Amino acid sequence: MQPATAPSARAVQAILGDAFTVLEFDASTRTAVEAAAAIGCTVAEIAKSLIFRAADDRPVLVVLSGTARGDEAKIAAAIGQPITKADADFVRAVTGFAIGGVPPVGHRVAPITLIDTGVMDLAVIWAAAGTPNAVFRLTPRELVQLTGGVVVAVQRG
């Protein structure tokens, strides 16, 4: 583990400022399981950033606990329009980041942001920070403040 050195991770660090520290790992943090293993936390403490495409072509950022799966019907209901899964090209175009490293902040196009209620039950979470091996630590409350996201139940089950 070391402070951010990759250009994308340094860009996220610049957006976050001194209040947070972007860390890079030798091991992959691309998936929630890989991130938890590298960090030494539970899979639930990984904040997954998923991008969907709204019917009006706006990006929709959904942040879920690493153990949760999004319910597309609940997400669509929360934003009041249909959604589709975003492909890798759309994700990179609207966020500026590749899948597996999409942070909850710093997107090229401001997304509609939904934060699942399950995330709010955690004391600490770890979010992607621009590359498939960079993350930063924060609280759910800080996530809401940083993103301006709406807290809503959007996980399956």
Among candidates 52, 12, 14, which has minimal Cα distance to 29? 12
| Residue 82 lies in domain | 2-152
Give the DSSP H or E segment for 9: helix 7-16
CB 127 within 8 A of CB 103: yes
The pTM assigned to this predicted structure is 0.94
pLDDT (0 to 100) of residue 15: 95
Pairwise CA distance, residues 63 & 70, whole Å: 9
Evaluate whether residue 100 is within a structural domain: yes
pLDDT (0 to 100) of residue 30: 87
pLDDT (0 to 100) of residue 157: 80
Evaluate whether residue 52 is within a structural domain: yes
Pairwise CA distance, residues 82 & 152, whole Å: 17
Evaluate whether residue 102 is within a structural domain: yes
Among candidates 33, 14, 30, which has minimal Cα distance to 22? 14
Evaluate whether residue 85 is within a structural domain: yes
Evaluate whether residue 91 is within a structural domain: yes
- CATH number, residue 142: 3.90.960.10
pLDDT (0 to 100) of residue 18: 94
Evaluate whether residue 50 is within a structural domain: yes
**How confident is the chain (157 residues) per 10-residue block, as mean pLDDT?**
88 96 92 93 96 98 97 98 97 95 96 98 96 96 97 94
pLDDT (0 to 100) of residue 89: 97
Evaluate whether residue 29 is within a structural domain: yes
Pairwise CA distance, residues 131 & 29, whole Å: 8
Domain count, the chain: 1
Evaluate whether residue 157 is within a structural domain: no
Residue with token string 């975003």: 86
pLDDT (0 to 100) of residue 122: 97
